[in-house]
Structure 1
Amino acid sequence: MALPGSSCLKRCGDVNIAYPFGIGAGCAMEGFELNCSKTKDGHSIVKFFGEIPVRDILLLEGQVRIMKHISTMSYNHLSKENNLNTWGKDLSNTPFTYCGKSNKFTVIGVNTLAYMTDNVHVIVGCVSRCSPYNNLLAQDGICRGAGCCQVPFNEDMSNDGVYFNPLYNTTDYYSNTTEYRGYAVIMESDAFRFNTTYLNTTMFFDENAGRVPAILNWAVGNETCDVARKKNDSYACLSINSKCVDSSRGLGYLCNCTEGYQGNPYLPGGCKDIDECAASKPPCGGCINKPGGSSIGVVVVVIASTCTFFFHERKKLAKIKQKYFQQHGGMLLLQEMSLKQGSGFSIFTEAELIDATDKFDDKNILGRGGHGTVYKGTLKDGSLIAVKRCTLMTSEQQKEEFGKEMIILSQINHKNIVKLLGCCLEVEVPMLVYEFIPNGTLYQFIHGDNGCHDIPFSTRLRIALESALALAYLHSWASPPVIHGDVKSSNILLDENYAAKVSDFGASILAPTDESQFVTFVQGTCGYLDPEYMQTCQLTDKSDVYSFGVVLLELLTGKKAFNFEGPENERSLSLSFLCAMKEGRLMDIIETRIKNENDIGLLEEVAELATQCLEMVVERRPTMRDVAEKLDTMSKVMQQQHPWVPPQHNPEEMESLLGESPVASLEMISSVNFSTEKRIVQGLLQSGR
């Protein structure tokens, strides 16, 4: 590993440059290169990636404070046009991420809806409203939806691509102003205080020349300390008196000086002994600096102190674990479990899950999402599990509700929903333990490099039906009802028989009972988000219906829900599909491999069902129960047309899955179009019934 020479700059402008950061060839660790440039007024400034100003480097905290571009949207009342100027920096494949704890996504404006995405899945956003007619009036220092809104992050983000909704960002609130602006940016929470003048002036943008502070986290490498220590040629903690600390984001590590030392742990000899005498006024008897281990007496004292320290630390750790356990509703959960013996739900210790996942080794990662990282694990009895390390819960309300929601999820028992086996509550952020599902996600099945692109239509229809049954159960038979909140193909798993299992309830909520339970921020996945939810911030069971409609499109077309690299008018699968339907070009968008002359009618019906799910007006969308019933009817027709296809569900099974009486089958048949009825009759005649 190359180390900086004496000629490397130690300071640029007001910023101290500390290795692994550096300016110039051979002065920085790979990925930590900075440059020093002059501004127009002659001041020196440090820049990150050659474009982002750096305000401060926090070496031991593993953070950098940067100045982030503000994205803007201006609306002209006269021309009725929006002008968007958005900024984003993708930090993927770099040592840096946007810090989830220190930053918030901030939106300022009158009726301004903005959101950001990591270009893969996660979306976070909010809407700032302002109206004299419903008392939504902005106030200085308050950013809670009126003229200003902020959203915390569940985890660190690698990208901050900002998007405004141009359909929503129009207003006549300031009738005497030709143009008004809306702003959106990820910024340091502690550096912001809302001012109402931001709404009718350009002050927010101008006071920092279009930039605001934001915090980046960083880490060295992409392995844990245990792995890194074994690599002498690349291990970064070079000072003898340094220690390695695993990064909180699960990838990479940081270096710190051991107790009693300070300095730069990334340099040989960088951690210097702290002179206790120089650090404080010596007592009357003088002062003796203790660099460590100068006599037997000192050694004895150190050993005794260490033993006492570890005893108290162990006791403190036990108390902390007990605190977390109670905080996450552990006592309530234990009480509930005692009333329901044999439920199969277990409370795991942290040690059990560390052992099962081989210390949460990267090789056991099954996937990452907006709500946590999932690891494959093996219990001592040899059974396989999936362990989800959830992201940090920031609010007290989240912590209080977690235990109650855990009880509800533990009681969900449906063949097409991944079974929650237990949880670990003695840690700051709870861990969930699910049954292990071996064949990956529906997303991988359809879109993956090794995906089975030759999936027959009958299999796609069965997977759609099983997924719909699971969602219908959550909406109509779970008590209280549960809204999934993030329905997508990557949250539908496939078991050893390729049966669908709906998973990932990180975004799920209990069905709201009144408007006070609705929030002012939006979370979900790009391409699947219900437009109504994005505008009203009200997540309902019909939001799940919309997202499921997009999953149906994936099964029909083999295309991804959102393609960031495609032409503007083809990025959204739902929009391009609805356009094709309107123009009578359905067969142009259906995947070629499933086009079959005998199945054209069924393909059209599934497409029509998807269209109903994607209705912009929420009230016009069917319920998930309706969707499941229609898909079951189509599956039965498929069985009549192709007798070699295994039956999907017999009447008794459908009755138990949907909670319906046999009479419902007649109602289902009457709810589908005439072409379906005709094929049912033809099928019955051909079978001699």
Structure 2
Amino acid sequence: MYYYKSATDTVPMLLILLFSLTVLLQFQGKAVVALPGSSCQRWCGDVEIIYPFGIGAGCAMKGFELDCNKTSAEADTNVTFLFNMPLLNISLLQGEIRVTHRISSMCYNQSTRNISYNEGLMNLNDSPFTFSEQRNKFTVIGFNTFAYMIGTTNVLGCLAQSGTYNNLTAQDGFCDGVGCCQVALTGNMSYYYADFLRQYNTTNMSTTDGAEYCGYAVMMEARAFHFRTTYLNTTEFWKENDGRVPVILNWAVGNETCDIAKTNATSYACVSNNSTCIDSVNGLGYLCNCTEGYTGNPYLPDGCQDIDECAVNVPPPCPGHCKNTNGSFICPDQKPPSSLRYGTVVLIVGPSIGVVIVVIAITCTYLILERKKLSNIKQKYFQQHGGMMLLQEISLKQGTGFSIFTEAELIEATDKFDDKNILGRGGHGTVYKGLLKDGSLIAVKRCVSMTSEQQKKEFGKEMLILSQINHKNIVKLLGCCLEVEVPMLVYEFIPNGTLFQFIHGDNGSRNIPFSTRIRIALESALALSYLHSWASPPILHGDVKSSNILLDENYEAKVSDFGASILAPADKSQFMTLVQGTCGYLDPEYMQTCQLTDKSDVYSFGVVLLELLTGSTAFNLEGPENERSLSLRFLNAMKEDRLVDIIDSRIKADGSDNGLLEEVAELARQCLDMIGERRPAMRDVAEKLDRLAKVMQHPWVPAQHNPEEMESLLGESSVASLEMISTGNFSMEKRIVQGLLDSGR
């Protein structure tokens, strides 16, 4: 059967197809994301609920779901909750929210003489939120109260000291270590645990009215805290905040950068026509903002609306003539009547030329003064950081290879400190990859601020000492930049990343021979031994960990990040009120005494040795509580004679000698002794590892020599240990050992 269609029947069909094509083109490239319906709740109590946040099914982007409930049956209004934390407000523009969380406390009951503890824990893992590094501080209040905070990777400690209550030196508004102390965060964390050091002398812990005494610790918004001395002998701090204080959380949508997010139209969140994408400050995703001239919610279709500059500005840009346009405004010329035009030109042009000349003169004067002011500021910083002394010493000691860089040089080398050049972030600063004009690759560290005047005065002296360190297993300090408020350090660039990445990268699938692990451990020990025993004065690293041991093009170890460490104090009674380090590596004795010693580095090195031996990370938040610390897990295995259970399976598969494994494990156990005095010195650790490395180089030695002869043989090679430690050169010692072996001794 045939059906005949006339021309008049075809026209409506073409129109329908054309309309459908137009609709498809309009939606092409738009994000297909779940958007809130008109029935979604807009307010909860006095908090406006702004998308991507929402309450109820289909009202929020994934991860941004909120609850709206009353805190109790007697409460008058509802409260907005995020993860059981009351939410105070939402900022779309800044990518922040303000919530409250509980204060941790340590309270002493004078009648029962018991101390009760209220710990603090917040876990934001697997969520789009992190604690703001810039807006929060870890705060401790109390009478000789020592509290610490465990973050995602770091540990921060703070000791609030004071005299007796009748002789307080604490002052209102000053949180400077007396009765109150604060520590800045070292990164945007997603995990927070606060607790107190549970060793107290309760002799002076009393109040005038015999009430309960409390010390407090909490991470909170820095601007929301104002210290008062009444917090020390009352429970006012807890009561006025009802046990909760505000904390700022950063948030981001997605988990990719803007460049990647824009390629996926189905999940791209910036759906408004006049929106733009911005990479989040926490590095975990991106944010959306309205483009200039628009305001509103960029996460909603047509959410960014034009700003009428002619109406919102008082007075408008050009009164009587302002005309609003999309995203901007214009001021069209107004022509006067022809009879008045000539006179108007004469009246306007003459004064205008004079005004232009005056403006140019003022601008030039201002720029000259600003340039001179900037030069004076740079000169001030340069002298403040000991630059003149450093220049004088460099001129007297030719051939040091130490340079003083300008700020402009380092800005150009790092492409204005672009985020794409970041090599890593740590507790002492951020490190950037740079390229000098001569083609040399460098690593530039922008240090954290130096708070005390003493630190600033001694900076130049410390740089001079560090510049003279010349050891093959220590990253070379090439120079520094002193004309900025916070000095920058310039190091040689090490290409093969960190030991942490080498061990745990590629999903832990890398097969590293046992001999290579021992060699890396030996090279790292030699570097620390040099710092402790041969640098003058000795240098304490303070943050030994696998991510601070770099690997060069030949995969030789180079210890880094000691430039922000401390010189060993001549007075052993000197204490540090701030405890900083990395979770899993921190010396427990240091946590109790606040005194950094060379044995603190030995403990941390013992943990690195465990990483090489077991292939496990130093601290695992995902595991059971009693197995999170690698050192505790290892010590328990040694105590229960279960060493084989904790050794890396790849080492066992290689058929490594069990005797050597036990020797390395015993050395690690000695380094991890809870009492610092019982730990070996780093030079002894290096010597022991050197002997083990030589045994591995000559596997046939045990077959020809009994244990006593082998110990004597290797002991005689120690005549060259001084040269080996001070220069990092093993060739002499190898020749001595080989000569002894060849002689048949």
TM-score of the alignment, normalized to the shorter chain, above 0.5: yes
Q: Percent identity?
A: 63
Task: Show the counterpart of 1:656.
Answer: 723
Which residue does 2:82 correspond to in 1?
A: 49
CA deviation after TM superposition for structure 1 residue 523, in Å: 0.7
User: What amino acid maps onto 2:620 in structure 1?
Assistant: N
Q: Which has the larger radius of gyration?
A: 2
User: Residue 156 of structure 1: which of 178, 181, 188 is its match?
Assistant: 188
Does residue 217 of the first structure (1) align with residue 256 of the second (2)?
A: no
* CA–CA distance in structure 2, aligned partners of residues 37 and 609 of structure 1: 57
Offset at 1:528?
Answer: 1.1
1:631 aligns to 2:689 (yes or no): yes
Query: How far apart in 2 are the matches of 1:6 and 1:539?
Result: 60
Deviations 1:573-607, CA, capped at 9 Å, x for gaps? 32333344445555554445556999555444433
CA separation in 1, counterparts of 2:563 and 2:411? 21
CA distance, structure 2, for counterparts of residue 476 and residue 45 of structure 1:
64
Deviation at 1:487, TM superposition (A): 0.3
Report the CA distance between 1:541 and its aligned residue: 2.0
CA distance in 2, matches of 1:567, 1:455: 27
Gaps of 5+ in 1: 667-679
Aligned residue runs from structure 1 range 224-263, under 5 A: 234=268, 236=270, 238=272, 240=274, 248-249=281-282
Structure 2: gaps of 5 or more residues:
1-30, 336-348, 703-713
Structure 1 window deviating more from structure 2 (514-523 vs 152-161): it is: 514-523
Give yes or no for contact 2:140–2:159 (8 Å, CA) kept in 1: yes
Paired residues of 2:47 and 2:80 also in contact (CA < 8 A): no
CA-CA distance at 1:67 after TM superposition: 0.9
Which of 123, 129, 149 is residue 96 of structure 1 equivalent to?
A: 129
Who is 2:537 aligned against?
480
- Residue 618 of structure 1 aligns with which residue? 676
Q: Is the 8 A contact 1:109 1:147 kept in 2?
A: yes
Moved more, 199-208 or 353-362: 353-362
Counterpart-to-counterpart distance in 2, 1:372 and 1:265: 34
Which residue of 222, 230, 233 corresponds with 1:189? 222
Matching residue's letter, 1:481: P
| Contact 1:475–1:482 (CA under 8 A) maintained in structure 2 | yes
Question: SS at 1:504's partner residue?
Answer: coil
- The farther-off stretch of 581-590 and 225-234 is 225-234
Q: 1:175 to 1:262 in 2, by over 3 A?
A: closer
Is residue 272 from structure 1 mapped to residue 304 from structure 2 by the alignment?
no
**Counterpart mapping for 1:178-577 below 5 A:** 181-194=214-227, 198=231, 202-219=235-252, 234=268, 236=270, 238=272, 240=274, 248-249=281-282, 268-270=303-305, 272-275=307-310, 279=314, 292-295=329-332, 323=377, 327=381, 329=385, 331-332=387-388, 337-338=394-395, 342-346=399-403, 365-377=422-434, 383-391=440-448, 402-423=459-480, 431-449=488-506, 451=508, 454-505=511-562, 507-514=564-571, 518-577=575-634
* Cα gap change, 1:50 to 1:275, in 2 (>3 Å): farther
Indicate if the aligned counterparts of 1:187 and 1:215 stay in contact, CA closer than 8 A.
Answer: yes
Question: Is residue 327–residue 399 contact of structure 1 (8 Å, CA) maintained in 2?
Answer: no
Kindly indicate whether the alpha-carbon contact (under 8 Å) linking 1:60 and 1:256 is maintained by their aligned counterparts in 2: yes
Distance 1:313 1:643 in 2: 76
Secondary structure class of the residue paired with 2:611: helix
Q: Deviations over 1:165-202 (max 9, x none)?
A: 44x25745448989765432101223334456655665
The one-letter code sitting in structure 2 at the alignment partner of 1:488 is: K
Partner residue of 2:14?
Answer: none
Indicate if the aligned counterparts of 1:485 and 1:539 stay in contact, CA closer than 8 A. Answer: yes
Instruction: Count residues with an aligned counterpart.
Output: 663
In structure 1, distance between residues paired with 2:607 and 2:162: 32
Deviations 1:434-454 (A, max 9, x none): 333333322233333455765
Letter in 2 for 1:609: L
Give the C-alpha shift of residue 508 in structure 1: 1.3
In 1, are the aligned partners of 2:422 and 2:432 still within 8 Å (CA)? yes
Q: Distance in 2 between matches of 1:317 and 1:652?
A: 61
Q: 1:557 to 1:409 in 2, by over 3 A?
A: same
SS at match of 2:123: coil
Kindly indicate whether the alpha-carbon contact (under 8 Å) linking 1:220 and 1:253 is maintained by their aligned counterparts in 2.
yes
Question: Are the counterparts in 2 of residues 116 and 163 from structure 1 also a CA contact under 8 Å?
Answer: yes
Equivalents in 2 of 1:549, 1:259: separation in Å? 55
CA pair 237-687 structure 1, distance change in 2 beyond 3 A: farther
CA contact (8 A) 2:381 2:485 kept: no
C-alpha displacement of 1:417: 0.9
Distance 1:383 1:660, change over 3 A: closer
Contact persistence 1:77–1:172 (CA under 8 A): no
Partner SS state of residue 606, structure 1: helix
State how far apart, in whole Å, the 1-side matches of 2:150 and 2:414 are. 30
* Stretch of structure 1 that moved more, 435-444 or 534-543: 435-444
Distance 1:451 1:28 in 2: 37
Tell me the CA shift for residue 126 of structure 1.
1.8
| Distance in 2 between residues matched to 1:615 and 1:49, nearest whole Å | 43
Q: Structure 1 residue 688 and structure 2 residue 744: aligned?
A: yes
1:127, 1:535 within 8 Å by CA — same for their partners in 2? no
Kindly provide the CA deviation profile for residues 111-132 of structure 1, in whole angstroms up to 9, marking residues without a partner as x.
543322223x211112345664
Indicate the SS of the match to 2:683. Answer: helix
Using the alignment, how far apart are the partners of 1:420 and 1:473 within structure 2? 15
Deviation at 1:626, TM superposition (A): 3.0
- Kept in 2: contact 1:155–1:371 (CA 8 A): no
Shift of 1:568: 3.2
The answer to whether the Cα contact below 8 Å between 2:542 and 2:600 also exists between their aligned partners in 1 is yes
Bigger drift between 622-631 and 524-533 goes to 622-631
Structure 2 CA distance for partners of 1:424 and 1:341, relative to 1, 3 Å: same
Q: What amino acid is the match of 1:89?
A: M
Aligned to 1:673: none
Q: Give the counterpart letter for 1:655 in structure 2.
A: L
Aligned-pair CA distance for 1:397 = 6.2
Secondary structure class of the residue paired with 1:473: helix
Q: TM-score, normalised by structure 1?
A: 0.77
Q: Deviations over 1:367-419 (max 9, x none)?
A: 44333444545556555444445456666666665555444433322110122
Q: Answer with 446-455 or 572-581: which moved more.
A: 446-455
- Alignment partner of 1:186: what SS? strand
Paired residues of 1:325 and 1:331 also in contact (CA < 8 A) = no
Partner amino acid, structure 2, of 1:327 = Y
TM-score normalised to the size of structure 2?
A: 0.72
Q: Does the C-alpha gap of structure 1 residues 583 and 37 become closer, same or farther in structure 2, counting only changes over 3 Å? A: closer
The structure-2 alpha-carbon separation of the partners of 1:380 and 1:653, relative to structure 1 and needing over 3 Å to count, comes to farther
* Whole-angstrom CA distance in 2 between matches of 1:343 and 1:682: 36
RMSD: 5.1
In structure 2, how many angstroms separate the alpha carbons of the residues matched to 1:35 and 1:433?
50
Distance 1:533 1:367, change over 3 A: same
SS at match of 2:542: coil
Where does residue 37 of structure 1 map in the other structure? Answer: 69
Query: CA 1:660/1:273 → structure 2, altered by over 3 Å: closer, same or farther?
Result: closer
Is 1:113 the counterpart of 2:167 in the alignment?
no
